[in-house]
Amino acid sequence: MRRLRRIKILATLGPASSDSATIRKLFEAGADIFRINMSHTSHDKMRELVQTIRNVESSYGRPIGILVDLQGPKLRLGLFGNGPIQLKNGATFVLDSLKEPGDENRVHLPHPEILAALKVGDALLLDDGKVRLIAEECSHDRTVTRVVIGGRMSDRKGVSLPDTDLPMSAMTNKDRADLEAACETGIDWVALSFVQRAEDVIEAKRMIRGRAAVMAKIEKPQAIDRLQDIIDASDALMVARGDLGVEMPLERVPSLQKQMTRLARRAGKPVVIATQMLESMISSPVPTRAEVSDVATAVYEGADAIMLSAESAAGKFAVEAVSTMNRIGEEVERDPTYRTVIAAQRPEPEATAGDAIAGAARHIAETLDLSAIICWTSSGSTALRVARERARVPVVAISPNILTGRKLSVVWGVHCVVAEDAQDQDDMIDRAGSIAFRDGFAKSGQRVIVVAGVPLGTPGTTNMVRIAYVGPTEEAPKTKKKTAEPS
Catalytic residues: 35, 76, 217, 275
| Contact status, residue 279 vs residue 246, Cβ threshold 8 Å | no
Strand partners, 190: 68, 214
Residue 178, CA atoms < 13 Å, CB-side half-sphere: 26
Residue 235 and residue 339: Cα distance in Å, rounded?
A: 26
Instruction: Estimate the share of the chain in helix, then strand, then coil, as percent rounded to the nearest 5.
Output: 40, 20, 40
Residue 58 and residue 80: Cα distance in Å, rounded?
A: 52
Residue 451 and residue 160: Cα distance in Å, rounded?
A: 47
Residue 421 and residue 418: Cα distance in Å, rounded?
A: 9
What are the CA-CA distances from residue 79 to residues 107, 130, 144, 155, 406 (Å)? 7, 18, 18, 5, 44
| Contact status, residue 186 vs residue 273, Cβ threshold 8 Å | no
The alpha carbon torsion through 281, 64, 180, 377 (nearest 10 deg) reads: -140
| Contact status, residue 89 vs residue 150, Cβ threshold 8 Å | yes
Residue 166 and residue 169: Cα distance in Å, rounded?
A: 9
Packed helices 289-300 and 336-344: angle between N→C axes, nearest 10 degrees: 50
Residue among 339, 392, 334, 338 at smallest CA distance from 361 = 392
Q: Which residues contact 199 (CB under 8 A, 6 or more apart)?
A: none
